Structure 1
Amino acid sequence: MENVQAYLVNAFTADGIGGNPAGVVLHADSLSNQQKLAIAKEVGFSETAFVCQDNEVDFAVSFFTVTDEVDFCGHATLAAFSTMYAQGLISEGQYIQRTKAGLLGVYVDATGHVVMEQRLPEFKGVFDSELIAPLIGLEAERLASTNLPIEVVSTGLSDLIVAVPHGSLDSLVVDESRLVAFCKEHNVVGLHAFELCNQQLSVTAHCRNFAPLFGISEESATGSSTGALASYLTKHFDGIETQFLFEQGRAMGCISRLSASIKLQGQTITQVKVGGFAKQFDTQTIHV
């Protein structure tokens, strides 16, 4: 038996509160995937990050939900690098992490703000409102009234990006069994719904994320989906600013704040970054 310490960290906090909890296990080189999954189940959060050494880049980071390994997790990446910074294992600067989604850059500044690079977006197809509306408890005509496409976008994980009419975001009712079936059929992680804000506000959109296929009924901050949404907005709105601020978790009473930036060359997206702050709130010792 081995005692493993997991740091419990809220990622994408707003002024030090809120955020989405993630587990972080440092020095995880000796752990098997089976042990990592057992630890993630014991921690019980939507994702736990495991940080290992790497022979070619700075770190190798793997991500486990309570049910399975996933290729990438934005809020757990933020939690991991924030924890390493707080523990004095890294200092201000640029790092490279090896993930199943590829080699991705992470920058930590002197305030502890973490900005992570994501994969360039893949736009994987659109769906009719008639198919998607029953998944979230809206009438098809009301969902279609946004005049925005329902599209699968990936910057590391494939998310169904769904614009909903203003005033309807908090009242969505997800049919989890239907959404699980949809995600399995179309190889999608979950559904990321958003409601655009008034242009005079600093926040671009309020968001909700549902991934019941991976045991996540709803989570209050989703970094991978933030990159996908920023890419989606850049694609579908000519001349839109390429700096975004999203809030997520309002319907859960746990508001998180996520920033995103897109770099363009002509009409081509050449870089996607997502950033935020994290705060440790506890540790947990787990026997494996």
Structure 2
Amino acid sequence: MNIEVLLVSAFTQNGKGGNPAGVVLQADGLTNEQKLYIAKAVGFSETAFVSKDDEVDFNVSFFTTTEEVDFCGYATLAAFSVMFQQGIITEGEYKQRTKAGVLKVSVNSTEVIMEQCLPTRIEQLNARDVSDAIGIESSILESTHLPIEIISTGLPDIIIPVPKGYLDSIVLDEAKATACCKKHGAVGFHVFELNEEGDTYTASCRNFAPLVGIHEESATGSASGALACYLAEHVKLNCNSYVFEQGRAMGCSSLIKARVELSNSMITKVVVSGTATMQGSIEIPV
């Protein structure tokens, strides 16, 4: 049989840029082996598979070209955007079951808003642990006076601050990055530089996850939620709403919004939002 895969760019700006995701609607009956085969054939960083669920609105699974992962923010955005555009869902709040847990997704005519898991802070690393992998000397990384920390709001990412002007100079050593992630139980590196107050973007970011078959991607929803939690704790800004740019070095800039809510200095809610644009569809024989 042929499976239709919708091709969607998530976290676009005025319909441009973003990160391409595959979306398979009505994925009931597909085995994990078939899903992985489809994800490999599509060749994007992530493909989302939407199925029925007996208790919540949808069951959504996520596959890279090498394996299934617990959660993917930008593929969630892509899936719910196309369901709204095709009239499968209307404006409102929905629940999706993922391997990271049951998460809320709100949809309106302008954006999709995804609730993520509350942050789990797993470990702090030394600059020496990551410096060789990203090609920036440890002393330069230490000059930010900010920690390198593994945080998960669905997937564990290593959050790495770099000084302004160093982000685009990163040359990733995939073998060293993969070894570091394996050693510390992380999916990838989420590297950021803070922008000046008053800029359009709070921070500019790059994300590398060669451990799961992704050299670099131009928008990462789960890591953006983790970065928002990191900034709320370590960088005192005027608000807890952030706008992130990602993909600039790839020539495919994305715009990602993230927000945290706090009570007594504790994070009580993490949401990431953005827009998506349909690019077409293909059929994969399975």
Give the TM-score normalised by structure 2: 0.99
Q: Distance in 2 between the 1:253 and 1:239 partners? A: 28
Contact 1:54 1:60 in 2 (8 A): yes
Partner of 1:34, secondary structure, is: helix
Question: Displacement of 1:241 after TM fit?
Answer: 1.2
- Which residue of the partner structure matches residue 38 of structure 1? 37
AA aligned to 1:118 is Q
When residues 4 and 154 of structure 1 are mapped into structure 2, their CA distance, relative to the original with a 3 A threshold, is same
Q: Distance in 1 between the 2:281 and 2:129 partners? A: 43
Partner of 1:120, secondary structure, is: coil
Q: How does 1:62-141 map to 2 (within 5 A)?
A: 62-111=61-110, 113-141=111-139
Partner of 2:179, secondary structure, is: helix
- Which residue of the partner structure matches residue 211 of structure 2? 213
How many percent of aligned residue pairs carry the same amino acid?
57
Q: Distance in 2 between the 1:173 and 1:238 partners? A: 30
AA aligned to 1:237 is V
Q: Distance in 1 between the 2:216 and 2:79 partners? A: 21
Q: How does 1:48-59 map to 2 (within 5 A)?
A: 48-59=47-58
Contact 2:130 2:180 in 1 (8 A): no
- Which residue of the partner structure matches residue 158 of structure 2? 160
Partner of 1:80, secondary structure, is: helix
Give the TM-score normalised by structure 1: 0.98
Q: Which moved more, 1:244-253 or 1:231-240?
A: 231-240
- Which residue of the partner structure matches residue 273 of structure 1? 271
Question: Displacement of 1:240 after TM fit?
Answer: 4.3
Where do 5+ consecutive residues of structure 2 fail to align? none
- Which residue of the partner structure matches residue 230 of structure 2? 232
AA aligned to 1:253 is G
- Which residue of the partner structure matches residue 19 of structure 2? 20
Where do 5+ consecutive residues of structure 1 fail to align? none
Contact 1:234 1:240 in 2 (8 A): no
- Which residue of the partner structure matches residue 253 of structure 2? 255
Contact 2:129 2:180 in 1 (8 A): no
- Which residue of the partner structure matches residue 61 of structure 1? 60
Q: Deviations over 1:215-237 (max 9, x none)?
A: 11100000000000000000112
AA aligned to 2:5 is A
Partner of 1:135, secondary structure, is: helix
Number of corresponding residues: 286
Partner of 1:181, secondary structure, is: helix
Q: Distance in 1 between the 2:220 and 2:116 partners? A: 13
Q: Distance in 2 between the 1:234 and 1:275 partners? A: 17
Q: Deviations over 1:168-216 (max 9, x none)?
A: 0000011110111111111100000000000111310000000001111
